[in-house]
Structure 1
Amino acid sequence: MKDRSYSVSELSRYLSGLFSEDYLLRNLTVSGEISNLKYHSSGNIFFTLKDSASQLSAVLFAGDRAGLRFRLEDGMKVLCSGRVSVYEKGGSYQLYVKSVRSDGLGELYLLYEELKRKLAEMGFFDPAYKRALPRYARRIGIVTAKTGAAVRDIIQIARRRNPYAELWLYPAKVQGEGAAESISEGIETLDRLGLDVLIVGRGGGSIEDLWAFNEERVAEAIFHADTPIISAVGHETDTTIADYVADRRAPTPSAAAELAVFELSSFYEDLKQRESTFLSLMREKLLKERQSAERREYRLRSLSPETKLLRLRQRLMGAEEELRKRMKERIRGERTRLQAYRGLSGWMEKRLSGERQRLELLTERLDAASPGRRLAGGWSFLSEEGGRRIRSVSDIRPGSLLVNQIADGKIISRVERVEGREIPEKDDSAPGQHGEGEGFSADGP
């Protein structure tokens, strides 16, 4: 006979029925620590209850929150009452919470929050008080249990990174009664030794396991220590008051060893790099100083009397050379001008010869047209006795004395009668006839 198969939904419903029929699962109280807390916008609260070995999904619906008197926080120890059933859609079981009460151990979380607020107000967490870790720590103090994984991890990593690092262990009690006093005493003891850095911590655990690192006395010891302190308490998700007060928090003791102990090989590489950088800077510095010295030497030489005299001599030689050059150019220019003048002289002689011939022609023409030549040709110049030239018969009145200039002398006569177009009366017997020229009269044939 073939076995019957069931769908996933059928199996989920069957399991849900089994959970519902179980009287214990219908009404029970579960204690645990809250984690993965989420307040949903619908009003529902989802979280996980866990202990050191297991975890359980839980939900508190909005309708059941009326009796909740405090706000849930991750890390709280609580007592949750409700029923366990199967969440068919997800195929998992979870606790449907009806009420939540603070567990006895959950009070530790409230004390934790109260101390955290108090120390924050006192400035214990202020970054201004955080000290920088030394880059090359040689002497490292460790406050933790003398046995356990934490100290073994720290020693192993320290030896691997730098076998020459000195490790000073204070074997403190890290859990239970008297643990806070032991831890604070260890911090104070190693702090007085003048070490480079301290590692304070332990391995992981529950909030009650780590509670010694949430004590005010431990926080005060860390805050007042002169030595930089690395807190390495629990695992990465665990956070204690010591983590907030310390100068640096490491997620694990192993990580704290990585922070505290410098790696020797990297140190050697860094030394080589620094040496190379130093030599490069020194060479650059020496080159600059040499150039500066050469410039100063050059300035000193340039300011010396010998250099000034040499410079003056050079300037004088340059001036002499410039003078010779200019004189040569001047002489060359004067020669060119002289040659031009010589050519101009020939041209001027030629021009003067032509002008001289022209002058002779003009002189001849002028001489031919001169009054003396005309007088010599039988013409005469007629004027009044006072010298006024006679141009027309209208300038003459009967009885006037006239001067008739001829080539070899003057003839002075008195006018008896004037004839002309302007004067109707004309005396034909009047001696002499005037010429047509300006004041000239013709005496010739």
Structure 2
Amino acid sequence: MPEDRYELEEKLRRKKMRGYIYAAFIIIIFYFLLKNNRSVSLAIDHLLTVVQPIFMGFAMAFLMNPLMVFLEKRLDKPFKFICKNPQTAERVNRVVSSIISLVVLGGVVIYIIATVLPNLINTIVYLANHIDNQAAAVLDYCNYVTKGKYEEALMQAKEYKIGDLMEEGLDFLKQYIDYDQSKMMTTITSSVLSIGKIFINLIIGAFVSIYVLLSKEMFKGQAKKLICGLFKPDYANIILEISRKSGDIFYGFIIGKIIDSIIIGIICYISCLIMKMPYPILVSAIIGVTNIVPVFGPYIGAVPTVLIIFLTEPKKGIYFLIFILILQQIDGNLIGPKILGDSTGISSFWVVFAVVLGGGYFGFWGMLIAVPIVAIIYYIAGKLAKYMVKRRGFPEETSEYISLDHIDIENNSLVPYSPFHDEEKKARRRGIKHKKSNTK
């Protein structure tokens, strides 16, 4: 018995020592990061720039995977008939399906750019050349709507030319901004080089996506093997479960949101044709793309589209604003839930929180991927909370804690709130005060 006790104490001592070492190691790393935050930030930025084509490849593979799986199932029998060896048929099927998926993805992106970009350029050029006439038409419409109530002020506003005001504004800014033509050329050159680098990274990413899809089962197997080797079986099972759930959340949300946005863009385009709205392709593309962003996307897309239509035809701009508000309500309450379902499992508050936080730190892409990331963290926190309360013998359901007042220590049970508890506490306090006064 003494030996067993000694061994147990020795194990506890070693466990505490390991904990102290881990804590010291974490503190040292945290201190190093704080002291060298600028250098660390530059190193991280450089690393992200270097691995950008890899990230692009994984993102492309993520989007291509559903189509590749669909094609693989349809082409399985033809390739098995052509290739006598089953392994060769499977490998050829994977290669062909991956390439077709890449071509489809690239074709869709190129088609959207080729359709939207010329319309966008033509619209900007037209509005820039006719901005004074457009503004005058808007002021005339305002005068008509207000029945001449503010006619004098509106007519005075028509005398100011927007082009002249812009030139005056530029002259004013030149007084405070050091304009250097050589710096401007440097900026333009660096911008062109950046665009060229993105194009090269996209080409590299396309090859990476093919390799990722060809070996996705191998990558999964290697990752699972590493997890099973590094962690105990219980922890390994938890990590594997969280990984599967994370994949379901990402696929359910990202792919579902893209499909939802495509549907909204098509509905918007058809409706614009019916209502004879100007620039239907451009407007529908903007609405569809911005709809990918949860919560704020519809409003982000509504601002430029309504403004473009309003400057062209003010009355139709108001009609389009009403249409967009109705369309987003239909999407938020009918189309979106049907496609997305409960893919994230988080409330509206956490969706808004994720979008604000992701957008603040990482811009548009942060707003897009922040929701599934927060959903994963929420899922892990929920699992951890269930595990901890289960260890203490408390119920796992959240509904049991909504009306919780306190924990009965003697019975180790949850006691719900009741007005009688307040009366009991007051009576107990009065009794304690009475006892103290008698003692004195």
TM-score, length-scaled by structure 1? 0.20
Find the structure with the greater CA-based Rg: 1
TM-score, length-scaled by structure 2? 0.20
Determine which structure has the larger strand proportion and give its number: 1
Q: RCO (CA 8 Å, sep 6+): is it higher in 1 or 2?
A: 2
Determine which structure has the larger helix proportion and give its number: 2
